[in-house]
C-alpha cells in the first residue's frame, strides 16, 4: 500500500492550488483524515493561497510579463555608477561603527538563494590575491554544477564555491585530496530548497598541494569532482 | 578595498535588484528608489546584525524605512509625499507582501512556476494543465507538490511567515 499512499501525499499540491479531479479530491480528503504527515504539511502551507491571491489576478510580472509590462520593472540602475556613491557613504560613516567583516556577508550568502546575482568569489576575495577558477565535473548520474575559486591565502587556500542544481536536502561536504591521496573535509553545508548555494571553505593546503576536490552527499557519494 | 566595502558591495550587488523592485512597487517613486535602497543597505551595514537570513532582514529594514518616510512626509505636508503610498501600515504591509509574493514566484523554477500559473491563477484542472504544458498528469501533480513546498521555503526565507 506504500506506493498508493506515496501517490496520495503528492496530491497535497493540487489540493492547495486547485485543479484536482473529483476522484483525486475525495481520495486526498480521505487520506488526509488519517495521514499525520500530510496534516502537518498542510498546516505549514495552508497560508499560501491567501498570499498567492495578493499577487492576483495573474500572479504578477514573473508569471505574466505582458499583463503588467513596464509598470513592474524597477527603474534600471547601473551598479558601476551607483556603487561608488554607496561606498563613499560607507566611508563617511565608517568611524561611527564597529567593523563588519566580509565573513558576515559571505556566511549569510551561503544560506541565501539567487545564485545568478551573486558575485561572491570575485567580491569576497580581494582582487590582488592569486585565484584559480575550476569547474567541478558532475559524477555520472549527477547534474550538479559547482564552480570553485581557489584563493591563495597566507594560511593556505580559501575555497569559494558556487553550486547549482544540488540535492535540495541532506548534508553536503567538500573534500580536499592532497597529492599523497589523503582527504580532508574543508566545508560542510545543507542542501537548500532551490538547490543553489554559495559558500566558502578553507584548507591548510596550498593550491599546488591540492590534487583534487570532491563534493559528496550525506552517504559519501561523490556528486562532482575537480582536478586542479 | 577595506573589508566593509567588500561586504557592502557584495550585498548591494546581490540584493540591490530585489530591493529596488520591492521599493519601486511599494512607493512608485522612481526618483527615490535608489536612495531608499542605498539607505537600507547603509542601515543594515551600520547595525551589523548577526542574522542567518540577510534577505529577510533587508526587507524588514526597507519596510520600516518606507513607513518612517511616509510618516515624516505626512507630518510635513509641504514636502512631496511618496506617490501612491498606501494610507496606513496595514495597507503598506499588504502592498509589500504582494511584492514579496511576486518576487517569490519569480524565484520558483520555471517548470514549477508554470504549474502554479495554470492551476492557481488560470484555474485549470490537472488534466487541462497537462495538455497545456505537454506534461503527463502525474508530473503536473508532483510539480504542484514541489512548487508548494518550494514557494513556502522561499517565502520563509524572505521573512513572509504568514
Ligand atoms: Zn499523506
Q: Is B153 on the interface with A (CB under 8 A)?
A: yes
Which carries the bigger pLDDT value, residue B4 or residue B59? B59
Of B107, B132, B103, B106, nearest in space to B119 by CA: B132
pLDDT > 50? residue A71 = no
* Domains within chain A, CATH numbers bracketed: 5-100 (no CATH), 131-227 (2.60.40.200)
State the CB neighbour count (10 A cutoff) for residue A117.
Answer: 13
CATH 1.10.1740 fits B1-85, yes or no: yes
Reading the block at residue B13, the C-alpha cell is 550587488
Decide if B115 contacts B143 (C-beta within 8 A): yes
DSSP letter for each residue of A92-109: HHGGGS----HHHHHHHH
Q: Alpha-carbon distance B42 to A99, whole Å?
A: 13
Provide the whole-model pTM: 0.55
Domain with CATH 1.10.10.10 in chain B: 108-162
pLDDT for position A114? 37
Instruction: Note the pLDDT tens digit of each residue in A102-144.
Output: 444 554 455 443 333 333 333 333 334 666 767 787 888 787 8
Looking at residue A73, what DSSP letter applies? S
Of A99, A160, A123, A75, nearest in space to B11 by CA: A123
Residue of A19, A74, A104 with shortest CB distance to B119: A19
For the segment(s) B108-162, the CATH number from 1.10.10.10, 2.60.40.420, 3.10.20.10, 3.40.190.10 is 1.10.10.10
The answer to whether B16 contacts A112, with C-beta atoms less than 8 Å apart, is no
Q: What is the mean pLDDT of chain A?
A: 76
The Å distance, Cα A136 to ligand 1 centre, comes to 38
Cell 502537518 identifies what position? A40
Which carries the bigger pLDDT value, residue B134 or residue B98? B134
pLDDT > 90? residue B134 = yes
pLDDT for position A101? 45
pLDDT for position A116? 33
Average pLDDT over every residue of A51-61: 82
Average pLDDT over every residue of A69-93: 70
Instruction: Note the pLDDT tens digit of each residue in A131-178.
Output: 676 778 788 878 787 877 787 777 788 888 877 778 888 889 999 998
Amino acid at each position: 500500500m506504500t506506493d498508493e499512499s506515496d501517490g496520495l501525499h503528492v496530491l497535497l499540491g493540487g489540493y492547495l492550488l486547485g485543479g484536482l479531479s473529483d476522484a483525486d479530491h475525495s481520495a486526498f480528503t480521505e487520506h488526509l483524515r488519517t495521514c499525520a504527515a500530510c496534516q502537518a504539511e498542510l498546516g505549514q502551507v495552508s497560508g499560501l493561497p491567501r498570499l498567492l491571491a495578493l499577487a492576483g489576478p495573474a500572479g504578477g510580472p514573473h508569471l505574466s510579463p505582458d499583463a503588467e509590462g513596464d509598470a513592474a520593472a524597477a527603474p534600471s540602475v547601473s551598479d558601476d555608477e551607483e556603487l561608488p556613491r554607496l561606498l563613499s557613504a560607507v566611508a563617511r560613516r565608517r568611524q561611527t561603527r564597529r567593523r563588519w567583516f566580509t565573513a558576515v556577508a559571505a556566511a549569510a550568502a551561503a544560506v541565501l538563494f539567487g545564485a545568478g546575482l551573486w558575485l561572491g568569489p570575485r567580491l569576497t576575495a580581494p582582487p590582488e590575491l592569486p585565484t584559480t577558477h575550476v569547474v567541478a565535473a558532475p559524477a555520472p548520474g549527477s547534474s550538479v554544477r559547482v564552480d570553485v575559486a581557489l584563493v591563495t591565502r597566507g594560511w593556505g587556500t580559501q575555497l569559494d564555491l558556487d553550486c547549482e542544481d544540488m540535492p535540495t536536502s541532506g548534508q553536503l561536504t567538500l573534500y580536499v585530496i592532497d597529492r599523497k591521496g589523503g582527504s580532508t573535509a574543508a566545508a560542510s553545508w545543507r542542501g537548500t530548497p532551490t538547490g543553489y548555494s554559495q559558500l566558502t571553505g578553507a584548507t591548510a593546503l596550498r593550491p599546488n598541494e591540492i590534487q583534487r576536490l570532491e563534493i559528496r552527499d550525506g552517504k559519501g557519494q561523490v556528486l562532482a569532482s575537480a582536478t586542479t | 578595498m577595506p573589508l566593509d566595502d567588500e561586504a557592502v558591495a557584495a550585498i548591494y550587488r546581490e540584493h540591490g535588484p530585489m530591493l529596488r523592485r520591492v521599493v519601486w512597487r511599494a512607493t512608485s517613486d522612481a526618483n527615490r528608489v535608489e536612495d531608499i535602497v542605498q539607505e537600507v543597505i547603509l542601515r543594515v551595514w551600520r547595525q551589523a546584525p548577526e542574522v542567518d537570513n540577510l534577505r529577510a532582514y533587508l526587507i524588514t529594514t526597507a519596510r520600516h524605512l518606507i513607513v518612517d518616510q511616509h510618516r515624516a512626509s505626512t507630518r510635513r505636508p509641504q514636502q512631496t509625499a511618496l506617490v501612491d503610498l498606501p494610507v496606513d501600515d496595514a495597507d503598506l504591509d499588504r502592498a509589500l507582501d504582494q511584492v514579496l509574493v511576486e518576487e517569490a514566484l519569480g524565484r520558483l523554477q520555471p517548470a514549477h512556476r508554470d504549474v502554479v500559473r495554470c492551476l492557481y491563477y488560470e484555474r485549470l484542472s490537472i488534466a487541462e494543465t497537462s495538455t497545456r504544458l505537454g506534461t503527463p498528469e502525474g508530473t503536473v501533480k508532483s510539480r504542484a507538490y514541489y512548487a508548494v513546498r518550494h514557494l513556502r521555503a522561499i517565502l520563509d526565507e524572505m521573512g513572509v511567515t504568514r
